[in-house]
Structure 1
């Protein structure tokens, strides 16, 4: 697609070198920043080449006066466990800062939509790469709606928090039940360590049986004589 002096098309292997500077700028503008991105990656060219060779990958580039000024990294995703329809995942839609507001983004998105339709993708999904309000407005103006939200955390932080609160597989019981068991064990002179398995089950059954027994005894002791069985004294 061409808009004025801007032309968007599918890239070929010979375009990868010209895409690298745009890709580096996109990495620098990403809000993920140092959380995911190193300042320099010596193997970025080989990583781009490997991504380009994947069958589901589509690299769309925008050119202006013979220079690459924008790109769209598109993944064509087939139906799977979490989705029943094919869709196009736009991993990045980026325009060089000096060439924005000239229709470059629209040209990139149009060519990406053509590829999505060509391969039967019923939906297009993307996340604003820079997080800028202008990018949000651009996507909203073309009909993109919010769908979920991403969250990020350090793996070490998750592990630390889980270890402090107990591992997910740790057996948990209601606090009231644990206190009842502890009291019963203390009254019998047993260690306060919570019983396990069959021992715990037996302890609970004995506790319930004793409670029922006390209730029966109390009822017998407080029961009034049956009037039909009393003898009248004249």
Structure 2
């Protein structure tokens, strides 16, 4: 489906930070997901997004792409170029986020953004495009499957502190380290989230 309105796709710039945070927040609220709770990461703030966009530009291995309608950000995709596996030279583009403003869905915006990413991937020698979809996100999973993406992996995540604690062998972690970890956890839980 082609967009029913003019759409511009370009790489995101630092000035898009506020629009990206708004887009992310709106999409999370509309989906009924409470992003800031029960996940390893919460909603980003404008300053963090601006810094991340600047870092992406300087690295040159991917970045954030935005779709604009009448100059306003209506969709975004975050993508990184990487080796398919460290032992080969086969490159791939990994799309970790694809967010479309709920009011702009079902008009071909995601398709246009993904087409632009496919062209970018080919121009940079990537042979494969991989999409990372949250386990609880049924609609995006169906969308990517409809486009022809196949399931190739299951990703699991946990905080580094939790992994270190669960993989501690014997008495490697001292009583002091355990006490500091407990205090950090209690401090994080007592900080009100906005």
- TM-score (normalised: structure 2): 0.69
Runs (4+) of structure 1 moved beyond 4 Å? 23-33
Alignment of 1:58-77 (within 5 A): 58-77=63-82
> Taking structure 1 as reference, are residues 6 and 131 closer, same or farther at Cα in structure 2, changes over 3 Å only?
farther
1:87 is aligned to 92
CA distance in 2, matches of 1:167, 1:147: 38
> Taking structure 1 as reference, are residues 7 and 130 closer, same or farther at Cα in structure 2, changes over 3 Å only?
farther
Higher relative contact order (CA 8 A, sep 6+): 2
CA distance in 2, matches of 1:14, 1:157: 33
In structure 1, list runs of 5 or more residues that go unmatched: 169-234
Aligned residues: 166
- Report the structure, 1 or 2, having the larger helix content: 1
2:23 is aligned to 22
1:166 is aligned to 170
In structure 2, list runs of 5 or more residues that go unmatched: 173-194
- 1:125 matched to 2:126? The reply is no
C-alpha displacement of 1:154: 3.6
CA distance in 2, matches of 1:37, 1:27: 13
Could you give the per-residue CA deviations for residues 136-189 of structure 1, whole angstroms, max 9, x where no partner exists? 1110011111111111234343333334x6379xxxxxxxxxxxxxxxxxxxxx
C-alpha displacement of 1:26: 5.8
- TM-score (normalised: structure 1): 0.59
> Taking structure 1 as reference, are residues 109 and 39 closer, same or farther at Cα in structure 2, changes over 3 Å only?
closer
C-alpha displacement of 1:83: 4.2
Could you give the per-residue CA deviations for residues 48-98 of structure 1, whole angstroms, max 9, x where no partner exists? 222233211243211223321001112122466244401111121110111
Contact 1:74 1:88 in 2 (8 A): yes
- 1:7 matched to 2:11? The reply is no
Aligned-residue CA RMSD (Å):
3.1
Max radius of gyration: which structure? Answer: 1
